[in-house]
């Protein structure tokens, strides 16, 4: 009878030992997973804290950059203003002139500066007017009643030259045909950028031919 109890007790102890080992294994699984969860939560908290610090640092860096840019801009504006204004010139006030009581105040005549006087003395006389070349022919203020001749028929006379001749008072072939040598010289000299064209193109001979119906 007692032999059967010994076997039963042995079996009970084996079962207790197995239950203890199973409890240890289950406890290890539970507490190990809890540590993993807690570690994960700690990592998330640390990452969130680091992100907040990074955002704060970035904001502070932007504020510092803005302040530095503003200081540089103000420094540049101050330097430009100083360059535009130039060095300040301080003029001392005139010294007071002591006057004797009862004495008459005399206004001194302003003296002519020596340099101004020399400049007036050394100033050259105005250039004499150049002597007139030749003699001016007879002119007309407007063409005759029959109308102006077509001066462009003279070789070398274009629209511009015709307009210039009209402004000088020449409208007809018979005016040009009667020019003398001195009158030709005067007209040649007064043709602005066309000087010398009367002689070079022999306007007088051409005008005579056109006057006579040529």
User: Poorest-confidence range of 19-23, 125-129, 209-213?
Assistant: 125-129
User: Poorest-confidence range of 46-60, 136-150, 180-194, 199-213?
Assistant: 46-60
Predicted confidence (pLDDT) per residue in 59-118, tens digit: 888 888 888 788 788 888 888 887 777 555 555 556 555 544 444 444 444 454 444 444
Predicted confidence (pLDDT) per residue in 139-195, tens digit: 999 999 999 999 999 999 999 999 999 999 999 999 999 999 999 999 999 998 889
Residue predicted with more confidence, 203 or 55: 203
pLDDT at 120: 42
Residue predicted with more confidence, 41 or 107: 41
Residue predicted with more confidence, 125 or 73: 73
**pLDDT surpasses 50 at 123:** no
Burial 85-108 (b: 16+ CB within 10 A, else e): eeeeeeeeeeeeeeeeeeeeeeee
């Amino acid at each position: 009878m007692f032999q059967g109890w010994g076997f039963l007790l042995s079996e009970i102890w084996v079962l207790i030992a197995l239950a203890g080992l199973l409890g240890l294994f289950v406890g290890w699984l539970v507490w190990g997973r809890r540590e993993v969860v807690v570690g994960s939560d700690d990592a998330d908290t640390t990452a969130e804290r680091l992100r907040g610090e990074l955002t704060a640092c970035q904001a502070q860096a932007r504020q510092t950059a803005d302040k530095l840019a503003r200081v540089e801009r103000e420094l540049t504006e101050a330097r430009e203003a100083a360059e535009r204004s130039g060095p300040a010139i301080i003029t001392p006030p005139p010294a007071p002139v002591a006057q004797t009581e009862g004495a008459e105040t005399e206004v001194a005549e302003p003296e002519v500066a020596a340099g101004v006087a020399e400049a007036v003395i050394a100033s050259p006389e105005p250039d004499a007017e150049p002597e007139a070349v030749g003699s001016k022919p007879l002119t007309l203020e407007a063409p005759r009643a029959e109308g102006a001749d077509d001066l462009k028929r003279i070789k070398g006379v274009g629209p511009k030259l015709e307009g210039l001749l009209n402004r000088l008072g020449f409208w007809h072939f018979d005016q040009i045909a009667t020019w003398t040598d001195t009158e030709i010289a005067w007209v040649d000299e007064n043709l602005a950028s066309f000087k010398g064209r009367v002689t070079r193109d022999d306007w007088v001979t051409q005008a005579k031919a056109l006057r006579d119906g040529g």
